[in-house]
Amino acid sequence: MSNFPIVRMRRTRQSEQLRGLVRETRLSVESLMYPLFVAEDREQPQEISSMPGVMQWPLEHLGREIERIAGLGISSVLLFGIPTDKDETGSQAYAEQAIIQRAIKLIKEVAPHLVVVTDVCLCEYTSHGHCGVIHNGTVQNDESLELLARMALSHVEAGADIVAPSDMMDGRVGAIRHTLDGQGFSAIPIMAYSAKYASGFYGPFREAAGSTPQFGDRRSYQMDPANAREALREVDLDIAEGADIVMVKPALAYLDIIRQVRDYCNLPLAAYNVSGEYSMIKAAARNGWIDEQRIVMEVLTGIRRAGADIIITYFAPEVAQWLK
Ligand code: PBG
């Protein structure tokens, strides 16, 4: 049933100007969120070997990096802490003068308008590397909720603008909402890692954050990569518990999930272009096998086209420069 030669698709592809007019999806710096690792026991910024260009930042150097990021027009950062001391209950996650709490205060002084989002999860802070507390070899759901809510509260008390629970315990969004509201922080949004899959793509992050589980894996709390309907149930629950933004993570092997969640609900949707997705592009580009800028723009455009409003990506500073 072709109308050729009356219909010719190539007519609007003939110049960059024409292509620009009919373009359906655009990347903009406003939708990018940049993850940052803040480390307690470092003198100098240290590059993460599997993530070229991504550093663990000591507090003393964080201010300059924040100025650079804000100067590029990036409007939000997602913070991860790397404490010196880890214990069974991850107490450095919610101590008042711990690394993230100090980092938040510093960032708010250097760049008051930068939106500071904090990852709420115990795995970087526990000696066993799991996202909740352990009894009899298993991660305890309900006991972990109290600690996660304390952690979120301490971030907000330090000045965080948004908290982002990534632990995948049941009921955590509700527990955090309840605690924040009870302490006078009803205006602070929660960005829920709603559909977070048990993924091999987190490998480089675990090196960066020192958060590899000391035994077992995260499959008893993160989602099975084979499931899509279950992601919608997770989204439903997080909405019911008060989430303001929902997230799908990782992004690239889960573009169908991003699209389904976009069609399913009306909340703002974030997608996390995770560490392994970054490392693969960097490695191939360093070998001269791909054109890095072209591939990065194509990948991020694909994530937007799939339906994400917010893209969390380690490429944010480079992309911000390219978009200028
Ligand atoms: C903490 C957390 C992880 C990531 C974000 N928050 C790791 C994990 O769940 O193992 C992964 C981010 C990335 O790979 O870039 N739970």
Distance 111 CA to ligand 1 centre (A): 25
Model pLDDT for residues 65-83, shown as the tens digit of each residue: 999 999 999 999 999 999 9
Mutation probe of ligand 1 site: the residue of 54, 168, 202 with most atoms within 8 A of C-beta: 202
Q: Taking the complete model, does pTM exceed 0.95, yes or no?
A: yes
Is residue 90 classed exposed, middle or buried when 0-12, 13-18 and 19+ CB atoms within 10 A define those classes?
A: buried
What is the phi-psi region of residue 29: left when phi exceeds 0, alpha when psi lies from -120 to 50, beta otherwise?
alpha
Chain-centroid distance of CA 303 in Å reads 14
Model pLDDT for residues 143-184, shown as the tens digit of each residue: 999 999 999 999 999 999 999 999 999 999 999 999 999 999
Relative to the CA of 275, which ligand 1 atom is closest? Answer: 15
Mutation probe of ligand 1 site: the residue of 121, 278, 279 with most atoms within 8 A of C-beta: 121
Q: Taking the CB of residue 183, how many other CB atoms lie within 10 A of it? A: 13
Distance 80 CA to ligand 1 centre (A): 9
Model pLDDT for residues 212-260, shown as the tens digit of each residue: 999 999 999 999 999 999 999 999 999 999 999 999 999 999 999 999 9
Model pLDDT for residues 81-127, shown as the tens digit of each residue: 999 999 999 999 999 999 999 999 999 999 999 999 999 999 999 99
pLDDT of 12: 98
Does residue 1 carry a pLDDT above 80?
A: no
Q: What is the average per-residue pLDDT within 122-147?
A: 96
pLDDT of 23: 98
Nearest to 118 by CA among 87, 90, 156, 86: 156
| Catalytic site includes residue 196 | yes
Give residue ranges with CB within 6 A of ligand 1: 119, 121, 123, 131, 166, 202, 205-206, 218, 274-275
pLDDT of 41: 85
Q: What is the average per-residue pLDDT within 26-48?
A: 96
Return all residues near 118 (Cβ < 8 A) that are at least 6 apart.
78, 79, 100, 104, 152, 155, 160, 162, 163, 164
Nearest to 40 by CA among 209, 211, 214: 209
Distance 163 CA to ligand 1 centre (A): 15
